[in-house]
Every structure is written in structure tokens, then in C-alpha cells.
Amino acid sequence: MPEKRGGRRAGIWLGGLLFTAVSVVLGCRTADTDALTPVPQLLAFLPWLLVPTGLGLLLALLARWWVGLVWGVALLGLLAWFIEPYGKISEPDGKVLASLRVLTSNVEFGRGTGALVDVVRREKPDVVFVQECEYTCEAELKRTLGVAYPNRATVPGAGSDGSEILSRYPLRAASGITATMGMPEAVADVDGHAVRLQLAHPMPPLPGQVDLWKRELGSLREFAARHADAPLLLAGDFNASQDHAAFRHILDAGLRDAARLAGHPRTPSWPARTAPTLGAQIDHVLVSADFSCARARFLDLADTDHRALLVELDLHQGG
């Protein structure tokens, strides 16, 4: 009998610890805040909180802990609510002015450059956003794709700092966003229509860098608020998912997530080693209300920890 009581107490304590950890993360999600480490890191994998919640419910059931059962069921309900896709899904119905294919890819310190070149040659996107394109990556893209993509906006840099936009369309230079890693900007002439292109690559929410991550996502949000009333593409590695408040605030500025418009709101893009089984969608193409998205695909590339994202967009009149 004492052994049973001891096992019951242990089950209640362990279940309570699991429920408490999940409750803290869901509490921050409910309050629309990313809070402090480790909350931002855990928010990236919010759907996977179903696992500790389910284990806690099993422990509560075995221990006949009725309060715990109610607690666990409430957490499951909140998780189900927040797992639903976030953001507007309405699309413009005006005349299609132009169609374009957009690819974004983080090549992890340039290591995935060769694989990216192969994908670009096969898929023939019109605009390519490349993150972590250091000096050798920049030179290789110019050598192999310079003829097909003569127009580019570049922030040179070593390691993860370099980034580049490649385009079949003529580009007009723009100032870009000042950040730790390169985030170039340009204005493309897409069949006679000006489309603003902004590459996104804020710092990741590493312990000790969460405030910097929030500030740089905030800069992207301010940029979107200034320009979302005209054709705009904001694409890259955001180091954030729809479960992060700082990313949702960018959507709230008037943008839509192209992958969600195409029916892929939670397809993981990182880490590539475990995706699509396990991961988070942190690589995005965000579009202004002028665009619709007919198709989105996440592509596996060798030698990089990110999957590339290819979207097919239509630019509409009067979006």
C-alpha cells in the first residue's frame, strides 16, 4: 500500500511538472509575448508540446489525479486552438498582371551553394533570395548563374553575414535593413510593375540574443508597415514561426504567408535533417495583398540545415 501511494505521488509530481512547463509556454502564447529563454526556443516547436501534455495526462489517469486530468484536457484544447494557422488568407480577385516564381534558401555558410545552383537551374525561379551566402557563395552564384540572373542586390559578408537577391527582372537599388546579418533590398520591374523585394535574416533567438532577435524582427515589422500597401515580397530565413509573437506582428502589418495560402501552414523547413517529420517552419515568403499563391513546395538541398521554399505567385490589379 505505501508503494502504491508513493507511485501515485510520483506520478502526480511528474505530471504536474510536465503540465507546468507546457502551461508557461502556452501562457506566453496566450499573452502574445515571446518572453525570455527558453520560451522562444520552445515556441518554435509548439505542436510538439502535445507529447509532454499527453504523457502528463497518462500519468494523471494512472494516478487517478482528477485535477490533473482537467488541467491536461484544458492544455490540449489550448494547443489545438493555437496549432490552427495564423494570419489572413483572403486573396485578391483583380486581373492578373504578372506571374512569378520565387525561391528562398539558406545555404548554411555557403555550404549548400552547389545544391542551390542545381535547384535554380531545374526550377528556373524568377527571383532567388539567398541567406548565409558568404564570399565564395557569392562568387560561385555569379559564375554559374550570372547570365540567367544578371541583376542582383548583395550585402557581402563572411560566414552567415552575406546575403543576396538574384533576379531575372531589372532591379533598382534600395537601402535595405540594417541588421547583424545582411538583409538587402531592391525594387524589381516585373513586367512593368514595381515590386519591392526585401530579404529577411534576423538573428536567431539564441540564449543571450533574444532581445536582439526581437529588435530585428521588429525592424522587419516596421518595414512591412511602411510598404505593405504596394506590391511587396519579404522572404528569407526569419528564424521564427507563426507561434512567435514577433513574427505574427509582421503578418499583422498587412502581409500574408505564401505557404499558408497554398495550404502548407506548418510544413517544417528547419532543421532539414529531421524535416518534414520534426521541425519548424522558419523560412517564409511573405506577400502583400496584391499577390495570390497558387503553389508552394519545400525542397531538400544537400549540405544545408534548411529546406528551400519555392512559391508560384500571381500579381493582381487592385489587390
Are 174 and 245 in a shared domain?
A: yes
CA atoms of 111 and 89, how far apart (whole Å): 35
Pairing of the two strands 283-287 and 256-257: antiparallel
Per-residue confidence (pLDDT) for residue 115, from 0 to 100: 98
Per-residue confidence (pLDDT) for residue 90, from 0 to 100: 80
Q: Which of 22, 57, 83 is the last residue of a domain?
A: 83
Are 131 and 251 in a shared domain?
A: yes
Note whether 107 and 137 are within 8 A (CB): yes
First to last CA, the chain: 70
pTM: 0.95
Question: Which residues, in sequence order, are bridge partners of residue 130?
Answer: 105, 164
Per-residue confidence (pLDDT) for residue 11, from 0 to 100: 86
Per-residue confidence (pLDDT) for residue 39, from 0 to 100: 97
How many separate domains does the chain show?
2
Report which residue type is found at 126.
Answer: D
Report which residue type is found at 247.
Answer: F
Q: Which of 83, 114, 138 is the last residue of a domain?
A: 83
Are 241 and 132 in a shared domain?
A: yes
Per-residue confidence (pLDDT) for residue 89, from 0 to 100: 83
CA atoms of 304 and 269, how far apart (whole Å): 11
Tens-digit pLDDT profile for residues 140-159: 999 999 999 999 999 999 99
Tens-digit pLDDT profile for residues 103-117: 999 999 999 999 999
Are 287 and 140 in a shared domain?
A: yes
91 inside domain: no
Are 40 and 142 in a shared domain?
A: no
265 inside domain: yes
Are 226 and 311 in a shared domain?
A: yes
Are 162 and 303 in a shared domain?
A: yes
300 inside domain: yes
Instruction: Count the Cβ atoms, other than its own, within 10 Å of residue 202.
Output: 26
Are 144 and 253 in a shared domain?
A: yes
Q: pLDDT under 70 in the chain at which residues?
A: 1-6, 319
Q: Is 100 helix (H, G, I), strand (E, B) or coil?
A: strand
Are 104 and 75 in a shared domain?
A: no
Per-residue confidence (pLDDT) for residue 2, from 0 to 100: 59
Parent domain of 240? 96-316
